[in-house]
């Protein structure tokens, strides 16, 4: 079942959760995985860039969770995994993105506290650099220095999507049944 939704819109998030319940009878797992990075310090970040970063990187997880948590609470079980970033844990010149992803970590911890007794496990992953199309293009264009980046990662390589997906899968699975409110870095030692 595929449901297309603009997750910046409350009504569409509510409809998305309702579509999952209609198709499957419940919601077992929610992965909040959306991200839009932008460069900028506190001085040169515009208000529009700030608002956009918080809207896309934080508000979306709030809205999806707002409608999924009651369904999970009703059945007394569920797992939510929020995809944050190591940018939330250290400075890297992406103020608005870092703030939004830091807010996602705070939201993770608070949701774990507030809904853990309802059987809902809420955790986060904080990836380092991931070899996405955008990062690879930044290497090709020279916007990012691949050699310098690799030298800062003790594992000697940039993560691929499977590295992050495996961490999310673990936290969403019953193998992580006693892990609540945790932030798992997936950064090859970069952070």
Active-site choice (97, 104, 158, 188): 97
- The DSSP result for 76-102, as a single string, is T-EEEEEE--GGGTS--SBHHHHHHHH
Question: Does the annotation count 97 as an active-site position?
Answer: yes
8-47: b (≥16 Cβ within 10 Å) or e: eeeebbbebbeebeeeeeebebbbbebbebbebeeeebee
Helix (H) or strand (E) holding 125: strand 120-127
CA torsion sign for 45, 103, 134, 188 is positive
Active site positions, annotated: 97
């Amino acid at each position: 079942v595929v449901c297309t939704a603009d997750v910046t819109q409350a009504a569409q998030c509510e409809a998305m959760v309702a579509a999952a319940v209609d198709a499957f009878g419940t919601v077992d797992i929610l992965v909040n995985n959306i991200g839009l990075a932008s460069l900028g310090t506190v001085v040169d970040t515009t208000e529009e860039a700030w608002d956009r970063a918080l809207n896309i990187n934080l508000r979306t997880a709030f809205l999806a969770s707002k409608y999924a948590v009651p369904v999970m609470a009703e059945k007394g079980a569920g797992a939510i995994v929020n995809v944050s970033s190591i940018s939330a844990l250290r400075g890297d010149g992406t103020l608005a993105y870092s703030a939004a992803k830091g807010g996602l970590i705070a939201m993770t911890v608070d949701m774990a506290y507030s809904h853990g007794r309802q059987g809902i496990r809420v955790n986060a992953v904080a990836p380092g650099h991931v070899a996405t199309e955008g990062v690879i293009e930044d290497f090709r264009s020279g916007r990012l220095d691949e050699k310098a980046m690799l030298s800062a990662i003790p594992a000697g390589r940039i993560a691929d999507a499977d590295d992050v997906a495996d961490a999310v899968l673990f936290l969403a699975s019953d193998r992580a049944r006693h892990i609540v409110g945790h932030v798992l870095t997936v950064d090859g030692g970069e952070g």
